[in-house]
Amino acid sequence: DSGVTQTPKHLITATGQRVTLRCSPRSGDLSVYWYQQSLDQGLQFLIQYYNGEERAKGNILERFSAQQFPDLHSELNLSSLELGDSALYFCASSVASYTYNEQFFGPGTRLTVL
């Protein structure tokens, strides 16, 4: 168990809908990262927050947004969902914003868009 929790574990929704994925980092970790992993695709970095502020942005679609709250949990909002958004979404956390070898990943949320 990495100490990072993600909810829900599974999410099935329809095209055009909006969903929110939630992540609670490990205790003491200030940095939260979101990744997308499609079937047969490598992990794609979406966005990083550090202590409530956006720190780095990857290939995140404009339909997607994220935030980190004062209690350090984070939410990833996906709107106007398309079939191609079906994927595993991982959250990771680390103490600092640059500890590349100390990211701890959660178990992921499996999103299925029908």
- Coil vs helix vs strand at 82: coil
Among the candidate windows 12-20, 62-70, 75-83, 87-95, which touches another protein by CB under 8 A? 87-95
- CA–CA separation, 94 and 112 (whole Å): 28
In the complex with another protein, the residue whose CB is nearer, 21 or 92, is 92
The residue among 5 and 80 lying less far from another protein, judged by its C-beta, is 5
Neighbours of 100 (CB within 10 A): 7
Q: What is the CA radius of gyration of the chain?
A: 13
Instruction: State yes or no: residue 112 binds another protein (CB under 8 A).
Output: no
Cα gap 79→81, rounded to integer Å: 5
Among 27, 70, 71, 100, binds another protein (CB under 8 A): 100
Measured from the CB of residue 39, what is the shortest distance to another protein in angstroms? 6
